[in-house]
Amino acid sequence: MTKAELQSIYRDYIACLNKQDWPMLACFVDNDVRHNGNQIGLAGYRSMLEANFADIPDLHFNIELLVAEPPHIASRLHFNCTPRGKFLNLNINGANVSFTENVFYKFHDQKIVQVWSVIDKTAIEAQLMADSDRSDA
Amino acid sequence: MTKAELQSIYRDYIACLNKQDWPMLACFVDNDVRHNGNQIGLAGYRSMLEANFADIPDLHFNIELLVAEPPHIASRLHFNCTPRGKFLNLNINGANVSFTENVFYKFHDQKIVQVWSVIDKTAIEAQLMADSDRSDA
């Protein structure tokens, strides 16, 4: 798989998530996919994403930076959204938050077999703190 | 700059950090470096790292995964260390914690000009919670 092919597959995967086209997910994600060390499998992966969209109705994945070196791709994703209730154990309650996720993927046979994701919780906390300071003023 | 050259420079940069060889930092980091959107410059970058080692005396950078596509490199770093007091606004107080950082770098003329870093705070919180549950038992 070339670098260009990998980037193209990845962009199609992100488009699939943004369309919430769950039947298509199997074209991009391996049956035995591992996420942050846990073998959650395709069904677990789909459940995780469906829960994300239920908790954050305006969730949209924006690719800010892509670094591809087959079989790996690293992506910096940007989000600007309004989680309904809790997110990462923080009380968001419909506030608008903007944050990033730095995430690595390993591909095999054109499908994602491993994901290592870190979300910038510190950035979200800083925004909630600033909002709370403003409402205290 | 080839992929192999970039990876080699990056590994030398990480060795420089682990040796705390601050005079050498200027060989790897640009004078006008930006970190998570802030132009902190070489002096600010060095201060940040010196503060990290002061707060975490056994700090050691371990490269777990590297993805290189010049001029960018993405690195998954692993840490196993014992911060003295607070870290990411969490009360660590000498507990041993294990966590990762997913970080992107942009190079120019063989030096780092931009860094986008996210540390897995959620993983550290989970460890502190487990420690506290054990001590409550």
Q: What is the 3-state secondary structure (H, E, C) of chain B?
A: CCHHHHHHHHHHHHHHHHCCCHHHHHHCEEEEEEECCEECHHHHHHHHHHHHHHHCCCCCCEEEEEEEECCEEEEEEEEEECCCCEECCEECCCCCEEEEEEEEEEEECCEEEEEEEEECHHHHHHHHHHHHHHHHC
- Residue A18: what pLDDT? 98
What is the Cα–Cα distance from B15 to A137, expressed in whole angstroms?
Answer: 47
- Residue B14: what pLDDT? 98
CATH number of the domain encompassing residue A105 = 3.10.450.50
Name the domain count of chain A.
1
Looking at the partner chain, which of B68, B76, B121 has a beta carbon nearest the beta carbon of A104?
Answer: B76
Q: What is the pTM of this model?
A: 0.95
Identify the CA nearest to B106 among candidates A119, A98, A46, A67.
A67
pLDDT in tens, B7-56: 999 999 999 999 999 999 999 999 999 999 999 999 999 999 999 999 99
Which residue range forms the structural domain that includes residue B83?
A: 3-136
- B122 in reach of chain A (CB within 8 A): yes
Cβ contacts of B68 on chain A, cutoff 8 Å: 67, 69
What is the Cα–Cα distance from B14 to B12, expressed in whole angstroms?
Answer: 5
What is the Cα–Cα distance from A93 to A84, expressed in whole angstroms?
Answer: 5
| CB pair distance less than 8 Å for A68 and B69 | yes
The pLDDT-based confidence of A25 (bands split at 50, 70, 90) is very high
The pLDDT-based confidence of A124 (bands split at 50, 70, 90) is very high
- Residue B62: what pLDDT? 98
- A117 in reach of chain B (CB within 8 A): yes
- Residue B131: what pLDDT? 82
Identify the CA nearest to B61 among candidates B106, B23, B10, B108.
B10
- pLDDT above 80: residue A102: yes
| Mean pLDDT on A79-90 | 96
- Residue B33: what pLDDT? 98
Residue A117 has what DSSP assignment? Answer: E
- The residue among A86, A90, A119, A120 with the most chain B CBs within 10 A of its CB, best to mutate, is A120
Cβ contacts of B63 on chain A, cutoff 8 Å: none
Residue with tokens 């980091």: B29
Chain B closest-CA separation from residue A69 CA (Å): 6
The pLDDT-based confidence of B114 (bands split at 50, 70, 90) is very high
Cβ contacts of B65 on chain A, cutoff 8 Å: 72, 104, 116
- Provide ipTM, 2 decimals: 0.95
Looking at the partner chain, which of B67, B101, B104 has a beta carbon nearest the beta carbon of A72?
Answer: B67
- B100 in reach of chain A (CB within 8 A): yes
B121-136 vs A121-136: helix axis angle to the nearest 10? Answer: 80
